[in-house]
Structure 1
Amino acid sequence: MIFGRIFILVKGYISIKHTKFYMFINVILLSIIIKHFSRFFSNKIDEKLIVLGAYGGQAFIGNTKYLFKFLNDHSKYKIIWVTKSKYLRDKLNREGYSALYTYSLKTIKVLRKAKFVFLTHGFEDVLPIDFSPKTIVILTWHGTPIKKINVDDRRLLMIKKWGIRFRLKLQFHQYIDYLLSITGGDYERKVLCNAFRIPLKKLIILGYPRNDILFQRDSDFVMKIREFYQIPKKVEKILIYVPTFREDRKFNFPLSNSDLKRLNNLLNEKNYLFLIKAHLYEREINFSGYKNIRLVKKDSDVQELLLISDILITDYSSVIFDYLLKIKPILLFVYDYIFQRLYA
């Protein structure tokens, strides 16, 4: 589709990627085009059609991934995954699933007639179309609020300003019907409802689908995951470092080279492996000089990494609550605690 090609072209210019111009094209202009264009397609609902997406269409991870697999195995619904990655689309289709490339006419057609749409982050997981009034949009979200739920201020202001002017309905409370959460306390519920500006009745208190894998006890299954991440058999224990997302999108690792060398030597002596899982939206750094310290791909499934690990190191990430289900050690590495308290 022409607007998809325009977007990809603009996205390729790194120098403008974090400018207001890029944000306006990405969030507002593209939404105007797609939303109005989608109205040319029928919105007659297919009661058996479910569409899912995740992480801005960039990865096959999170709650919607595991819900997607569960529904394919245990339901008679037609289940479709939407992604901006043609590689992922082709991979899922080869595996017997149904997947569509985001920027296609067929994707708009299925979104217009879907009975249910499941997201992890918002409309950017699929497309900002004009959903049918009978479509039920469920935001599965991706964590429990330890720190403030931040929405980029510039992006939020832009959505409010231009969204109202063009009646785009891009704010969460304007298009989601339900929010999935694991929070059971009144305070956490209030935090979530305030953050998303939704009434309590729209909050669904259930478990996260992504956590089912943490109860996996099949040794062959666990071994396949270790092999997929190329974990040597001689490795006795795996430590996984999973920091939270930070607004500057920088993966800060406040250890000197000498610290890292000492850590690497200790890990080598113990036959331990230290895996680092940066946030999907953060810029990567290089750890290639250390044999026992490895940076895994940003789009790796953190739930799989949690399953095969023996110790979790994190900070303010709600991955803490996921890992508690394993009843294994958790270390908190909060090197910027003061900054987070003052400014986050």
Structure 2
Amino acid sequence: MNKITLIITLLINFLFYVLGNIIPKSKTTWIFGAWYGQKYNDNPKAFFKYVNEHHKQNIKTVWITKSSDVINEVQKAGCIAYHEKSLLGIWHQLRATKVIICQSLHDDVFSPCIGKKTQVIQLWHGIPLKKIMFDAFSEKTEQKNIFGRFVDYLSPYNEHRNDIVISTSTLTQTTLAQAFRVEKEQVLTCGFPRNDVFFEKANKAEKGPFKCIYMPTFRGGIASECDLFEAYGFDLKTIESQLIKNNIELTLRMHPVNKPPVQIVEEIKNSAVIKLDAGNDIYQSINQYDCLITDYSSIYFDFLLSNKPIVFAPFDLDEYKTRERSLYFEFEDVTLKPYCYSWNEIVERLISLKEASIDDEYKNEYRALRDKFHEKPNGGTSPFSAKLFGYLNSQ
């Protein structure tokens, strides 16, 4: 973008920003956005659905996105969705009294339309193990030239702003207050709306298979650069025979760039008990699983609410600890042993868990870890969403 085009864009956006600060707000209009405007999922989706299902008569909810696919998905569900720069999308953003996001204001919605009188509710997307936001950013400020300062002056809406941040416990309240550089009183310990799923009754046959899901953390490289399968003894035929023998199903949910080697993917296509899952929203199905297998993915913090076993398989733990120095917690202090360092150990552990071989020490450590990261919910099928709504509706 050349300077002339940039200046024109900045002036147009600044006009929207001025309008956003002078147009009266509608107390009953709340807008939602998530994941750079490209997805309909995570905490904003769960809370959006809750408000639509339980408070539609009092609150007008509008999903804001950059994606036509998301618009179609939300509208098919009978809800309202607009492109962030459409006339109706802009109008609702200018009028909204609250905006609910999980990344940042300028990522998830059209931030020039969000005036100072609109309350920004940051739902984030997980309990962090690695440092995030200002804890991860460099404290050094880059000296900008006159034009750079002029651009900043005309785009105040690009600054990080979060009026309310949500957390899951007193511990995470402190962590997130520090990460977002807000007062502790601005961090509400209400729990994540997406975790309401763990309080819904799962549709599962009484004598069905023991369903397990493997969800390793994202790694910055293609599959051949971070082989989590063959390098750690993943022999499909051997594993498959053991799973079939013990009535266990295994789902592999990988990040697109970290999928298994091509030959394993091809073999899995014909497997009766091993499959790949690349669905958009894991929280639509996570409660159907009897066990989670992971290494460093923060989803295990959420899964603690299921009271179902978690198998930690940190194949490259020594390398990980050397590489990831910016952590809020020591890995060993916030995970459950025994660790599994190969696929043979994982399968043995799954068989043991399937037979309900869980000792009291593991149960006690599990309970202590869960209580450390989650406040006890008040009950009901939507305890976290209900608590968040009660707070926001009273503002």
Match of 2:129 in 1: 146
Task: Give 1:114-133 correspondences, 5 Å limit.
Answer: 114-123=96-105, 124-133=107-116
Q: 2:44 aligns with which of 64, 70, 77?
A: 64
Match of 1:228 in 2: none
Q: Does residue 289 of structure 1 match 2:289? A: no
Give the direction of change, closer, same or farther, for the CA distance of 1:49–1:279 in structure 2 (3 Å limit).
farther
Distance 1:32 1:80 in 2: 26
Larger deviation, residues 145-154 vs 87-96: 145-154
Q: 1:136 aligns with which of 115, 119, 139?
A: 119
Q: Secondary structure at the match of 1:144?
A: coil
- TM-score normalised over the length of structure 2: 0.66
Q: Does residue 273 of structure 1 match 2:222? A: no
Residue 270 of structure 1: how far off its partner (Å): 3.3
| Contact map agreement 1:159 1:171 (CA 8 A) in 2 | no
Q: Does residue 312 of structure 1 match 2:292? A: yes
Residue 216 of structure 1: how far off its partner (Å): 1.2
Give the direction of change, closer, same or farther, for the CA distance of 1:125–1:58 in structure 2 (3 Å limit).
same
Task: Give 1:21-36 correspondences, 5 Å limit.
Answer: 32=10, 35-36=13-14
Identity of aligned residues (%): 26
Mark the structure with the bigger radius of gyration. 2
Match of 2:152 in 1: 166
Match of 1:201 in 2: 185
Match of 2:163 in 1: 177
Q: Secondary structure at the match of 1:259?
A: coil
Residue 77 of structure 1: how far off its partner (Å): 0.6
Q: Deviations over 1:245-291 (max 9, x none)?
A: 44x265644221862413233334434322122348x5655524212
Paired amino acid for 1:277: R
Distance 2:299 2:138 in 1: 26
Match of 1:81 in 2: 63
Distance 2:291 2:136 in 1: 35
Match of 1:15 in 2: none
| Contact map agreement 2:35 2:103 (CA 8 A) in 1 | yes
Residue 94 of structure 1: how far off its partner (Å): 2.5
The unaligned stretches of length 5 or more in structure 2 are 325-395
| Contact map agreement 2:28 2:59 (CA 8 A) in 1 | yes
| Contact map agreement 2:135 2:178 (CA 8 A) in 1 | no
Task: Give 1:226-241 correspondences, 5 Å limit.
Answer: 236-241=209-214
- TM-score normalised over the length of structure 1: 0.75
Distance 1:325 1:30 in 2: 50
Q: Does residue 255 of structure 1 match 2:229? A: yes
Q: Deviations over 1:95-117 (max 9, x none)?
A: 21101123423222211211010
Residue 190 of structure 1: how far off its partner (Å): 3.3
RMSD after superposition: 3.6
Residue 30 of structure 1: how far off its partner (Å): 11
Give the direction of change, closer, same or farther, for the CA distance of 1:160–1:147 in structure 2 (3 Å limit).
farther
Q: Deviations over 1:165-200 (max 9, x none)?
A: 51334677x421111111312xx4333222212221
Distance 1:159 1:304 in 2: 43
Paired amino acid for 1:256: E
Distance 2:60 2:217 in 1: 34
Distance 1:272 1:343 in 2: 34
Distance 1:141 1:196 in 2: 10
